[in-house]
Structure 1
Amino acid sequence: MIPEIPLWIKNPDFDRVDWLNKLIQCMWPYLDKAICKTVENIAKPIIAEQIPTYKIDSVDFEELTLGSLPPTFQGMKVYVTDEKELIMEPSIKWAGNPNVTIAVKKFGLKATVQVVDLQVFVAPRITLKPLVPSFPCFANIYVSLMEKPHVDFGLKLLGADLMSIPGLYRFVQELIKDQVANMYLWPKTLEVPILDPTKAMKRPVGILNAKVLKATKLKKKDLLGASDPYVKLKLTGDNLPSKKTSVKHKNLNPEWNEEFNLVVKDPETQVLEFHVYDWEQVGKHDKMGMNAIPLKELSPEEPKTFTLELLKTMDPNDVQNDKSRGQIVLELTYKPFKEEDLEKGFEKTQSLKLAPEGTPDGGGLLVVIVHEAQDVEGKYHTNPLVRLMFRGEEKKTKHMRKNRDPRWEEEFQFMVEEPPTNDKIHVEVVSTSSRNLLHPKESLGYADISLADVVANKRINEKYHLIDSKNGRIQVELQWRTSA
């Protein structure tokens, strides 16, 4: 009886996965068809390529089904490391009733080979890495076997059981074990790419220098005067706040000559959007017009001046856009990070010296990635978010409700003119509640992290104990990217 006891009972390292077995059981009729169709599509070209070698007329699948019995997960180990990866080690048993019948024709004669009574016991290691904030949330799948698999099946030819031939059964079984083990036995792995990790992580690849020069022939919005225009700039696909110019009071032909730097993550798809507003001391600011510039229209390191009409909407068929709303003039320069650094691959980018061309000596980009926190608990409520304070600038993660072990996986950037060797970044976990009027906000702990190490090492990824918290910890990754 002992070998039949599930692993999650015998071994405390394994978790039970009954829910997964129920899911597979419900999905099996559909998985069966999908897997068989994929196998057939893969096998047919290979068979067609080999047929001339053996002078065979044809090889066809007469039957191809995995049967009605799905594989069973006996248990699963799950490992989470400090790096961006998830490791799973399931124990899989499949005692199936497949029917795979292949017809081989040669010289007008036909022979059928049938595979039946398949049994497979396998213990793979499946690693999902790197974990990324884009669906399906991992960039690659790595599969390897922790031990040689057990494979058993019946093989029938013209009604006779081929596996009953003396010595053939053991030969075939050992051949399959050895062949599979040679390909995928740990540490050898099968790598299945899912996403381009660089794009999935949306890591900075350059800086957009945007100069808002002037606007002309703007329309009056105020009843008793002209307008008080200002401009908001934002890159699509970025959650950072918009950049804003100053307000030019009572001016329909304002000149700003103001300069902004925006972090670029994908110059092929991102678009610079700009909106002109009429500032109001009280109430909502009126929209005066908008337009957008795709970054793919820019050549690296070449300043380009745009004079664009202000539109009501970005819909090209909107008749309201025919009305003149004035013009705006901008000068844009895209400064990519050094190409030789970007080509070193994703695994090395976590410690690369990346910064835009033209960055002042010693300047760069401080990247802060808030991964997760553990064992945080408030006295009145536990709805955590993380506040980052650096040189008077504050950034916040999203709000998590009723969670003692929140995972954010959010990235923030700070442009710095000189290395922050003597600086610290204040990281605080805060809980907020709109229901508790007496205590709407409370601190769940904080850490002041010295940046000297990240300046010296270019990257650190550690867990920090939270001050003023009983057991709370937070995992923060810091990167310092420079141009030299």
Structure 2
Amino acid sequence: MGIISTILGTFGFGFGTTIGILIGYYLFIYHQSTDVQASSNLLLNSLDPEIKPLMELDSEAIAKMFPEIPLWVKNPDFDRIDWLNKLIGYMWPYLDKAISNMAKSIAKPIIAEQIPNYKIDSVEFEMLTLGSLPPTFQGMKVYATDDKELIMELSVKWAGNPNILVAAKAFGLKATVQVVDLQVYATPRITLKPLVPSFPCFANIFVSLMDKPQVDFGLKLLGADVMAIPGLYRFVQELIKDQVANMYLWPKTLCVQIMDPSTAMKKPVGLLNVNVIKAIKLKKKDFLGGSDPYVKLTLSGDRVPGKKTVVKHSNLNPEWNEEFDLVVKDPESQELHLIVYDWEQVGKHDKIGMNVIPLKDLTPEEPKLMTLELLKSMEPNEPVSEKSRGQLVVEVEYKPFKEDNIPDNLDDPNAVEKAPEGTPSGGGLLVVIVHEAEDLEGKYHTNPYVRLLFKGEERKTKRVKKNREPRWDEDFQFPLDEPPVNDKLHVEVISTSSRMGLIQSKEALGYVVINLADVVSNRRINDKYHLIDSKNGRVQIELQWRTSS
């Protein structure tokens, strides 16, 4: 029976296969003839189409015939802006870097806030560039309103070649995601409001989308094209459209504040002259019983960086006699904040004490000598400590402007303070402000600090742990008897680790040597310097040359 079953099974398989081939061949020939006939009919119809003049076609038919036609041709409300495309084309290499750095700075705190929820060690941009192809604006529509605002509607197309490489580390493993071949079509509405008399003449930027954006891009995970997975491409596209639309589709907006509207509407009305004279019996903050005090001055409601005195090392009764001029916009509400800090070579500077002076308490054109008790904070519920933090002696005078006599250089970004009293007439004060660094790479660790070498003196910033883009905002001062026209400043970025057992506990991340002749002639330079012996690392250093004249 087994042999008979095998023979019958083999015979049945052969017979069924033969019948299946014959039926399939018949169906193929039958359908092919039908499709060929249909194709022939379609070809004959295309050879004899219905011809009409363009003027007889409606706008929808013309748009289908010419899908790439710009909006300023199809819609008379949109203006042609070829000049803007040319400008962006010339500026794109610089806009690429600026936009990429801005995107990093915006994404960094968001990533830092989210990664603890997913047990990820770190997420970093290994590469972020928008490529060499700038976006194209196909037209712009401007709305006129009675409010103090400017409304623009733009048609943007961008077929770019960006290279965005993101690396994520978790459980000792590293995964990279790369975004390439990005194409975007969107119609954003940009509203600048309110319009104010202070540069850049608007306080906020509101951005919203008039339609769902069209987004197309390639996504590589560990070098493999993820978008090649069946069904994933369309799913990701629709997901991005829906998420962006939920956040920014009109009337929802993204608001970017440029300046405080309440202060932007106000013009300067006077100057506050502050003479920081001395401090008395300051609280000891250092381990050995001393302090290295300096004073920081700021006006409330003012976004201009505060001003500082020099540091008086190992002195609990320092004398400064330094004068500062602060621009006043609202003497009825603004206050002068005075904070005394203890300078630290490494780590955060400790606050010794503070106090405030309301400008409304000052009589115009009358100097006022004041001795202020230093407090821990200005909170009304803060318990009063019996132990004194010391006193600060200042002289203040409010000088209101006369009508039509406002100085032109009040907001000059290159203006620098004068050197403190007692500075030699032929010399001055060299101020080095270490702001930040970016794209630092350590082979073993990245815990950077900055080391300054100038005329045999060494100064260091505090160390920032596990950060490729640290920010310090620390300043160092070098009193000099003559301008440093032939001197150089050596800036070195170093990473150290306190972990035991590391072979490389100290690692150089790059350095730069800065000639100081330009600082003397320009009085102030604030620039980013590429680090030598670093792949992409840069450090931002601000240099000021202050003189008594």
- TM-score tier after normalising by the smaller chain length: 0.3 to 0.5
Which is richer in strand?
A: 1
Which is richer in helix?
A: 2
Task: Normalising by structure 1, report the TM-score.
Answer: 0.42
Higher relative contact order (CA 8 A, sep 6+): 1
Task: Normalising by structure 2, report the TM-score.
Answer: 0.38
Choose 1 or 2 for highest CA Rg.
2
